[in-house]
Structure 1
Amino acid sequence: MNATLARLIGGQICVHGSMAGMRLAAPLLALREGYSAAAVGLLVALFALTQVFLALPAGRYADRHGLKRPVGYSVAVACVGAGLAVVFPTFPVLCVAALMTGAAAGAATIAVQRHAGRAVHDATELKQVFSWLSIGPAVSNFIGPFAAGLAIDVAGSSPGSLEGYRAAFALLAVLPLLSWLCVRGLPDMPAPAAAAGGESGRAPQRAWDLLGDAPFRRLLIVNWLISSCWDVHAFAVPLLGHERGLSAAVIGTIFGAFAIAATVIRVVMPFVANRLREQVVMAVAMLVTAVLFAVYPLLHSAWAMGLCSVLLGLALGTGQPMVMSLLHQITPSHRQGEALGLRLMAINASSVLMPLMFGSAGAVIGVSGLFWAVGAAGLGGSRLAWRIANRVPKESQKA
């Protein structure tokens, strides 16, 4: 991992970490102030909502302006959003802060991913780069909540005091500035000719036209299935653990085992990237996930559930790096920002809507039925992954 990639990862971690910390601190403050679970659920959903609507414009903006300008604006928006919560720690302002920090994290992620994908030379480097980049969100999902929780308990006059929350929000408002320090010295990649000037006499292309390309459409569906499997695990394991009479600490340990396994496999992948084929890795990951989802509801021991969680983390952890690598190969270079935006939009729309669907389905078919239904969808995703053509446009072959 070279210095440029390390700085890109650092830039991604700090903006995303600010959002992750807000996603912990804001709901806790809302609960402290007596707001209902429904209100807190709405607040949490707002972190993903702006990314649904702004991902495509953010992708187009990154196609036109590269890395530093989108990241600079993202840093400013994140700082202002968290800063507003310092001055006005009320529920309406927390909702605004959620919208702003969520949007900033999404836009910065798109710009960083696009820049990293365009800076490499071949498919092997793509897999290596996106394996390293995929570690960033895991790190930020630890750093942001840990720093916020520590500030809430330590900085106030008493644990959980309003002063502690203000201190946490102030810390999260400063954290994105480190992202700017990471990326400000990096040179922007030159804009592709089609993105910079377009071709005269041709109608402007729409992002939805990308869905007309069969490999991209299949890749997007497989990516959505991988994300849905991840969400099902997060949603259903607490319910299953509760049915089995497991304690909160044990259920949390099962989750931790999943997260550690997903991170470990992403650390290993760059060293074996030249032996990996994206379609094969995704197809095998979906097949293994389907089998594990079939077995998971039949397990009663915490140790067995923990082992299954580790295996799921290893399987699903391979998904995002392979998706990102293949996306950059099958998408024209001047539309990669749009493609990344479309992908992020689909994932965040799923994160908003799928928990509602999971809850309704779980009430009808039970937690076990939910695992089996999504596992069956995973089998279809495995077959779809095999059919993705590894077609590399000429314009993506760059030095």
Structure 2
Amino acid sequence: MTVTGSRSWLLRLVIAFGFAQAAVSMARPAVSYRALSLGADERAVGVIAGVYALLPLFAAVPLGRRTDHGRCAPLLPVGVVLISGGCAFSGTAGSLAAMAAWSGVMGLGHLCFVIGAQSIVARQSAPDEQDRNFGHFTIGASFGQLVGPVAAGFLVSGEDGAMGRTSALALVVSAAVGAVSLTSLWRIEHRTSGAPARERPRKVPVRRILGARGVPAGIFISLAVLSATDILTAYLPVIGEHRGIAPATVGLLLSLRAAATIACRLVMTPMIRLLGRTALMAVTCLLGALLCGGIALPVPVWALAVMLAALGFCLGVGQPLSMTTVVQAAPAGARSTALALRLTGNRLGQVAAPASAGVIAGVAGPAAPFAMLGLLLLVAAGLGMRTPTPPGGRGVRPTGGGTPAFPGTVQKPQPQHSPESFPDRE
């Protein structure tokens, strides 16, 4: 099997990721509501949201190292089990400390799944297919983010005394939803993807990976975009409580954001052809910064819906294109580790951003974290403008005589192109 063969593996991976992400997206707001029912304030909600990323912060690079020199697929079922277990036990936890611990388990499971899945996409995609395949892959995440909050919103009741029970029910249901993804994980990795032990390259130092031009910018852009998505998920319920917006409406608003993200990724290829990868990342981060600032204002629900839809469209660009940027900028033989470092940056943002948001919300009100996100995305826009576009526009590395992007990857021959063949050339 080569990277040019059937892409049924990609469809099944998207389906599995959709269910796994739906479980997490359903559980995150449910965790916030359950924490509120147990007496948590804005600071405590921020701490619990941050713990979700704490264990993955330390586990990402070792998992990436393992994946660089072995198979990716075993990480997927392990991730699903941890996600489902974290969701279920969060629903039965009787204290904020226990909820924080199981939230961390859920985050570790999500990390395992994402590292394995992203490495499979990068390993089994030809260089000129990576933008498209990463875009399609992240549609699974967007679909989960579309369905999960709606389901949580309809299951959680805002009535006095009922929120604790209904949020626990939502968490148990999310565990079952996550387990469904196991049905799509059969034969998802090509047997030729792994390299024999004698062909495995030496470990590339982390310093060298981070020193590759384009890798730090890709990591920070991903961090900023994910932090925006994460704080939206965790703090929109808090804003809803303060502004009198029902949990079901909050779920619909979060799902509207996710639907706009799906729409963005369906049209990403023509947008790249029109603007180029670098300009597209920078422009969408800049617009996202302005929209986050708008959410902090006391606007009516219809205006909030419009801004969330536009913000979802803008946030849809950063994740898949930052994956391609990091993969193509990283040294050969260290692509999974580079993706893991990108995820480490994501998790660092998921620890620091909610904790900072909790402090800011406690001082300046629950809408203030969105102003902080605006500043973060503004910095990402500036870095996006400085992200290099390698020769060939899409960052396609020459394959003749070079080391494949991953051990055992079969890459298709790259024909000679005229400058017109590369719409991303700047």
Give 1:203-214 correspondences, 5 Å limit: 204-214=203-213
- Partners of 1:216 and 1:130 in 2: CA distance: 17
Query: Does the aligned pair in 1 maintain the 2:149–2:251 contact within 8 Å?
Result: no
| Counterpart Cα distance in 1 of 2:172 and 2:333 | 38
The alignment's TM-score, normalised by the length of structure 1, stands at 0.77
Aligned-partner Cα distance in 2 for 1:73–1:367: 36
Name the residue aligned to 2:181.
179
Amino-acid identity (%):
22
Q: 1:288 to 1:152 in 2, by over 3 A?
A: closer
| Cα distance per residue 1:58-93 (max 9 Å; x no partner) | 22222222222111322343454456568x644465
The alpha-carbon deviation at position 46 of structure 1 amounts to 2.5
The residue aligned with 1:277 is 276
Mapping of residues 110-129 of structure 1, within 5 Å:
110-123=115-128, 125-129=129-133
> Shift of the alpha carbon at 1:104?
0.9
Map of 1:69 onto structure 2 = 74
Q: Cα 1:196–1:358, aligned 2, differ >3 Å: closer, same or farther?
A: farther
Deviation per residue, 1:340-392 (Å, 9 max, x gap): 21111212221222233345557778899876776565454334223222334
**Contact 2:17–2:181 (Cα < 8 Å) also in 1:** yes
Confirm or deny that 1:191 pairs with 2:194. Answer: yes
Instruction: Confirm whether residue 15 of structure 1 aligns to residue 20 of structure 2.
Output: yes
Q: Give, in whole Å, the separation in 1 of the partners of 2:20 and 2:126.
A: 27
- Aligned residue number for residue 267 of structure 1: 266
Q: Of the candidates 131, 136, 141, which is equivalent to residue 135 of structure 2? A: 131
Per-residue deviation, 1:303: 4.6
User: SS in structure 1 opposite 2:214?
Assistant: helix
For residue 381 of structure 2, what is the aligned residue in structure 1?
382
Secondary structure of 1:112's aligned partner? helix
- AA partner of residue 126 (structure 2): H
TM-score, normalised with respect to structure 2: 0.73
Unaligned 5+ runs, structure 2: 1-5, 391-395, 399-403, 413-426
Map 1:1-399; keep pairs closer than 5 Å.
Answer: 2-26=7-31, 28-29=33-34, 32=37, 34-37=38-41, 41-82=46-87, 89-91=93-95, 94-123=99-128, 125-144=129-148, 171-188=173-190, 189-191=192-194, 197-199=200-202, 204-230=203-229, 247-249=244-246, 255-270=254-269, 275=274, 277-292=276-291, 303-360=302-359, 375=374, 378-391=377-390, 392-394=396-398, 395-396=404-405, 398-399=411-412
Deviation at 1:115, TM superposition (A): 0.6
Deviates further, 269-278 or 50-59? 269-278
Query: How far apart, CA to CA, are the structure 2 residues paired with 1:372 and 1:210?
Result: 32
Residue pair 2:253, 2:305 contacting (<8 A) in 1 also: yes
Show CA shifts across 1:263-300 (max 9, x none): 22122225665556221210221233345456666785
Deviation at 1:198, TM superposition (A): 2.5
Structure 1 distance, partners of 2:36, 2:371, is 34
> 2:180 is matched by which residue type in structure 1?
L
- CA 1:191–1:29: 2 relative to 1, 3 Å: same
For residues 307 and 21 of structure 1, what CA distance do their matches in structure 2 show?
22
Task: Compute the RMSD of aligned alpha carbons.
Answer: 4.2
Structure 2: how far apart are the matches of 1:161 and 1:251? 17
2:70–2:195 CA contact under 8 A, matched in 1: no
Equivalent residue number for residue 417 of structure 2: none
| Kept in 2: contact 1:59–1:107 (CA 8 A) | no
Q: Is the 8 A contact 1:280 1:386 kept in 2?
A: yes
The superposition leaves residues 3-50 of structure 1 with CA deviations (integer Å, 9 ceiling, x where unpaired) of 221101122223333333443445555555x45335555444332222
Contact 1:254 1:306 survives alignment (8 Å)? yes
Match for 2:215: what amino acid? F
Residues 195/176 of structure 1: CA separation in 2 closer, same or farther (3 Å cut)? farther
Amino acid at match of 2:262: T
Report if aligned partners of 2:22, 2:148 keep a CA contact under 8 Å in 1. yes
Q: C-alpha separation between the residues in 2 aligned to 1:197 and 1:22? A: 39
Q: CA, structure 1 residues 358+173, in 2 after alignment: closer, same or farther (shift >3 Å)?
A: closer
Which structure 1 segments of 5+ residues have no match? none
Q: CA deviation at 1:331?
A: 1.9
Cα deviations by residue, 1:101-127 (Å, 9 ceiling, x for unpaired): 22111111111111112212233x212
Distance 1:268 1:192, change over 3 A: same
Q: Distance in 2 between matches of 1:29 and 1:287?
A: 34
Q: Alpha carbons of 1:280 and 1:102: their partners in 2 closer, same or farther (altered >3 Å)?
A: same
Amino acid at match of 2:187: G
Secondary structure in 2 aligned to 1:185? coil
What is the CA–CA distance in structure 2 between the aligned matches of 1:382 and 1:300, rounded to whole Å? 25
Describe the shift of the 1:293–1:44 C-alpha distance in structure 2 as closer, same or farther (beyond 3 A): closer
What is the DSSP-based 3-state SS (H/G/I as helix, E as strand, rest coil) of the residue aligned with 1:214?
coil
Q: Distance in 1 between matches of 2:23 and 2:237?
A: 26
Higher helix residue share: 1
CA distance in 2, matches of 1:197, 1:59: 14
Asked whether the equivalents of residues 128 and 271 of structure 1 are also in contact (C-alpha less than 8 Å), the reply is no
Are residues 256 and 196 of structure 1, via their aligned partners in 2, closer, same or farther at CA, if it must alter by over 3 Å?
Answer: same
Moved more, 366-375 or 73-82: 366-375
Structure 1 residue 254, shift from structure 2 partner: 5.4
Q: Is the 2:93–2:99 contact (alpha carbons within 8 Å) kept by the matching residues of 1?
A: yes
Distance in 2 separating the partners of 1:150 and 1:240:
17
Q: How many residues align?
A: 385
Q: Determine if contact 2:139/2:265 at 8 Å carries over to the other structure.
A: yes
